[in-house]
Structure 1
Amino acid sequence: MLTSSLPTQDIAVTRAGWRGWFALAVLMLPVLLVSVDNTVLSFALPEIALDLQPSSIEQLWIIDVYPLVLAGLLVTMGTLGDRFGRKRMLLIGATGFAAVSALSAFAPTAALLIAGRALMGVFGAMLMPSTLSLLRSIFRDRDQRRFAIAVWASGFSAGAALGPIVGGFLLEHFSWGSVFLMAVPVLVPLLVLAPFFVPESRDPAPGRFDPVSVLLSLATMVPIVYGIKKLAVEGPLSLAPVLFIVGVVFGWLFVRRQRRMASPMLDMTLFQRGTFSGAILVNLLSVVGLVGFLYFVAQHLQLVVGLSPMAAGFALVPGLALMIVAGLAVVPVAKRFAPRVVVPVALSFSVVAYVMVALSTADLLQLIVAFALLGIGIGAAETVSNELILSSAPAAKAGAASAVSETAYEVGAVLGTAVLGGILAAFYRSHLILPAGLSEAAAQSSRETLAGAVAVSNTLDDAALADALRAAAAHAFDSGVVVTALIGAVLIVVAGVIAATTLGGTRSTSTK
């Protein structure tokens, strides 16, 4: 049976001073960069396609190779940080990420850009677990740590808000390589300041490095993440079921090996803690809901409402700003009320947001309000759940715990786009009623995606036919939004139920 008890040792601790808060500011640099990078590439892809002329498969891999490598290596890199030093892994990751990003900005071929994106995934996997796990050692006082994690989580929201705006600005004034070059001015200050302000921390009794476990973790995550993407694009008759089976088999082998090792790469007993496992699931489902919402609202704002990418980005800023505010404001609330109360109440705001979208997408203001409510719920829930993940794990295993949390985030992001996006695409195609008068090629392009239909409408000489096509495509798309919004609401309800039953029933007032 899972237990929700938290560690109780180290009751008396020293509170962090100004150096700790300055270290937090330094650690926010890679958090902002990675979160911006998650959204900015999609804006650059059209220019990349025109310049490098990749094949359809190469274009897919330019997007997919980074999250595949990142998800596959997060647990490995988090564990290596525990063993060899979390600050050391952070500095290696920052150096490599900046160097490879700069080289990728001038990639002459699609193949070299894909290779660069893969290497960025390797170094990115070193960055994120290190930033979160270092907060565990810098802020030993739990109240301070909860606030620091709220700031850390807010960095993701700020990056997501900046992504469309920064991407739009760079691509209006510079070439596509600028979206990769921006890593350099962000990470150079980290490399200069981190050695002075960020303390080193590691597992005081690390075991031996196990290459077999590394290979098994890769063989588990990569097929599963890639299978999710294949399922969304090609449906259940694709290789997706085979990839899932392969991933599950290697996952079983990985778990079995960890349980038999005296010093495992990932301590599987962490998952026997109800608080840890419950918080991981809340994180995953919350990210599915957030990314799935962003997926369809971004398309609706640009392709149905007709906003520019930058204008669509600005329309989402209020919601992302409230996500940041909620993540910080929940800190004093979490001191007074139990996590199993705080998280479900917070997520109820996100459920209301999805229901509002399911009822209507016609009103732009209503969409902005809905996203604001979603942001309030996700922002508060993510702060509490991330803090519980770190607090429920031993300090020596902070890197591994952070890596599991980051893996849940990456898988949730893939699921949000692939599953909810796939369902939305399927409903779009099945409900699209094309107006008469389109050529077969135009009709085929219109059936593929909403963007395809809008692109076709812009090439038509008959204004009435173009208007009819856009109206039909918008209607079909919004019919899919209704279904995916209801599914999103159900997923958030499930996250709330998990939180209510696993996250403990007492206030989190201890210092540990």
Structure 2
Amino acid sequence: MTKLEPAVADAHAGGRRAWLGLAVLLLPVLLVSMDISVLFLAMPTLTVDLDPTAAQQLWILDIYGFMLAGLLITMGNLGDRIGRRNILLIGATIFGLASILAAFAPSSGVLIAARALMGIGGATLLPSSLALISTLFPDARQRARAIGIWTAFFAGGSAVGPIIGGLLLHHFWWGSVFLINIPVLAILLIFGPILLPEHRSTELGRLDWPSVVLSIGGILPLVYGIKHIAAEGFDVWSLLIALFGLALLVVFIRRQRHLADPLLDLKLFTRPLFRVAIGASTAGMASLAAMSYLTSVYLQSVTGRDPLQAALLGIPMAVAVFGFSMEGARIGRALGIRATFTLALALSAVGNLMLLGVGVDAGIGWYVAGSVIAGVGYGISFTLVSDVAVSAVPPERAGSAVGISETSFELGNALGLALLGSLAALVFRSSGDFGDTIGETIAHADGNSALIDAAREAFVDGMHVAIVAGALLLIAMAITAWRDCRPR
């Protein structure tokens, strides 16, 4: 049994109060996902003011995602034990204070520290907000609808981040991209205690802190090593760091087998539906991250668009992801989970493959059409992943399961950039006497049009190879979903 404090579940469940509670829960979800991408456009002006080194620039961008990935499982478990509303409000406070510190950071070091604190706060917000939906909506149909809306806002946040950042930077200084968080979080802190029920488990034991250390100590070096290889190319030091993290994760998993109340409940993976959901989120995010990154570079370095124009061309895909995240639950009921997972993954693969029509001098129509079709598939599959993470596990394990699913999204993102991004870079560099990146090659071409044209052609070739690899990964996962999924 689980205990609901201080409000009784029936007082909140399913009615107008529950939907108002969902509206409050959507606010931190939008902010956490938006803050992953909102800095992309702010980096040039931020760099002028704070003068960060190249390494500091990478840490400013990456430390937020590192902390998210490393702490999601821990914070999901902690919320199950101390109360999901409690940890949501604590996380919102940390996120808000860190946003103020980031906005007025006097140096790169302070900004990096603030971004790390934002990652800690964000890691408490995601699993607790999604797990609370199971308390607000005990009815399966309403819960699936609510999870679809939650997923739409999470997916939409990262898409609108660059657009909002561009609008703010047009009128204000770079710190404004952080200060926009404050009024949103104020609404959560005021209305959260009124509209959200508390939920904590009375069955789970104390948190196993050695497991917490092993989990964070394993995930952070693994993600760091993978991202460093993706950004800088393969080197022995990055590989050793990633292998060190992997070794700690092996020790972590072995420890979980012998604990009565493990941080990572391995029994969850004996459920075929849960396994397929985690595989789908990892494969989906890997292909989506590679496609988004490579097409962003393509639109700017190959076609010559500025960052805001490139972001605006991503709006159709964002709309598709948002819309079909909302309808994912309905499609799942109509077709069944097995067919819907398979269809969604296949649509994502087809959309990726349509980007083979993109070329150096033409193909924007193929990009828009392919990204929209892929977005339909991603929206449906990501909704099902979130639904399974909440619905296919015991209520007392909802926070832990959500932490696992959100971590799989973060790891999929890192793996997509590292493996598929590195594959594209390998094809690019092996096609001629170029620099490490197309941007570096064009910057040092000294007007050599033949070299620039060759570099653009090589980049498109590398992008095609990586996108096909991502599509094959999606197809393999679609086959696995059809084989392993069974109707609930």
The letter of the residue matching 1:473 is: A
Q: 2-side partners of 1:136 and 1:466: how far apart?
A: 60
Q: 2-side partners of 1:179 and 1:466: how far apart?
A: 38
> Corresponding residue for 1:495?
477
**Residue-by-residue CA offset, 1:242-263 (whole Å, 9 max, x unaligned):** 2233223222222222222222
Bigger drift between 216-225 and 168-177 goes to 168-177
Bigger drift between 12-21 and 470-479 goes to 12-21
> Corresponding residue for 2:78?
80
Q: How does 1:22-421 map to 2 (within 5 A)?
A: 22-361=20-359, 362-421=362-421
Q: 1-side partners of 2:161 and 2:432: how far apart?
A: 31
Q: Is the 8 A contact 2:280 2:477 kept in 1?
A: yes
Instruction: Please tell me whether residue 430 in structure 1 is matched to residue 430 in structure 2.
Output: yes
Bigger drift between 40-49 and 423-432 goes to 423-432
Quote how far apart the aligned CAs of 1:241 are: 3.1
What SS does the corresponding residue of 1:140 show, helix, strand or coil? coil
What SS does the corresponding residue of 2:41 show, helix, strand or coil? helix
Q: 2-side partners of 1:313 and 1:241: how far apart?
A: 33
Q: 1-side partners of 2:406 and 2:290: how far apart?
A: 18
Q: Is the 8 A contact 1:346 1:378 kept in 2?
A: yes
Q: 2-side partners of 1:263 and 1:164: how far apart?
A: 41
TM-score w.r.t. the length of structure 2 is 0.93
What SS does the corresponding residue of 2:191 show, helix, strand or coil? helix
**Residue-by-residue CA offset, 1:258-286 (whole Å, 9 max, x unaligned):** 22222222322112111112211111111
Q: 2-side partners of 1:103 and 1:284: how far apart?
A: 33
**Residue-by-residue CA offset, 1:220-259 (whole Å, 9 max, x unaligned):** 1112111212322444442233223322322222222222
Q: Is the 8 A contact 1:230 1:239 kept in 2?
A: no
What SS does the corresponding residue of 2:374 show, helix, strand or coil? helix
What SS does the corresponding residue of 1:202 show, helix, strand or coil? strand
The letter of the residue matching 1:334 is: G
Q: 1-side partners of 2:382 and 2:128: how far apart?
A: 18
> Corresponding residue for 2:5?
none
Quote how far apart the aligned CAs of 1:432 are: 3.9
Q: 1-side partners of 2:478 and 2:355: how far apart?
A: 19
TM-aligned CA distance change 1:495 to 1:265, over 3 Å: same
What SS does the corresponding residue of 2:106 show, helix, strand or coil? coil
Q: 2-side partners of 1:318 and 1:360: how far apart?
A: 17
The letter of the residue matching 1:487 is: A
Q: Is the 8 A contact 1:165 1:313 kept in 2?
A: yes
What SS does the corresponding residue of 1:447 show, helix, strand or coil? coil
The letter of the residue matching 2:338 is: R
Q: Is the 8 A contact 1:322 1:376 kept in 2?
A: yes
Q: Is the 8 A contact 1:78 1:129 kept in 2?
A: yes
The letter of the residue matching 1:161 is: A
> Structure 1: where are the runs of 5+ without partners?
1-11, 434-445
> Corresponding residue for 1:439?
none
The letter of the residue matching 1:503 is: C
Q: Is the 8 A contact 2:102 2:175 kept in 1?
A: yes
Bigger drift between 412-421 and 484-493 goes to 412-421
**Residue-by-residue CA offset, 1:172-191 (whole Å, 9 max, x unaligned):** 22222111212112211111
Structure 1 moving runs of 4+ over 4 Å:
12-15
**Residue-by-residue CA offset, 1:100-152 (whole Å, 9 max, x unaligned):** 11111111111111111111111111111111111111111111111111101
Instruction: Please tell me whether residue 478 in structure 1 is matched to residue 476 in structure 2.
Output: no
Q: 2-side partners of 1:468 and 1:333: how far apart?
A: 50
The letter of the residue matching 2:440 is: G
TM-aligned CA distance change 1:41 to 1:142, over 3 Å: same
CA RMSD, Structure 1 to Structure 2 (Å): 2.0
Q: 2-side partners of 1:158 and 1:351: how far apart?
A: 20
Instruction: Please tell me whether residue 449 in structure 1 is matched to residue 449 in structure 2.
Output: no
TM-aligned CA distance change 1:181 to 1:266, over 3 Å: same
What SS does the corresponding residue of 1:329 show, helix, strand or coil? helix
Q: 2-side partners of 1:345 and 1:469: how far apart?
A: 42
Count of matched residue positions in the alignment of Structure 1 and Structure 2? 477
TM-score w.r.t. the length of structure 1 is 0.89
Q: Is the 8 A contact 1:13 1:140 kept in 2?
A: no
Q: Is the 8 A contact 2:342 2:479 kept in 1?
A: yes
Q: Is the 8 A contact 2:357 2:366 kept in 1?
A: no
The letter of the residue matching 2:396 is: A
**Residue-by-residue CA offset, 1:70-114 (whole Å, 9 max, x unaligned):** 211111111000000001111010111011111111111111111
The letter of the residue matching 1:189 is: I
Q: Is the 8 A contact 1:15 1:144 kept in 2?
A: no
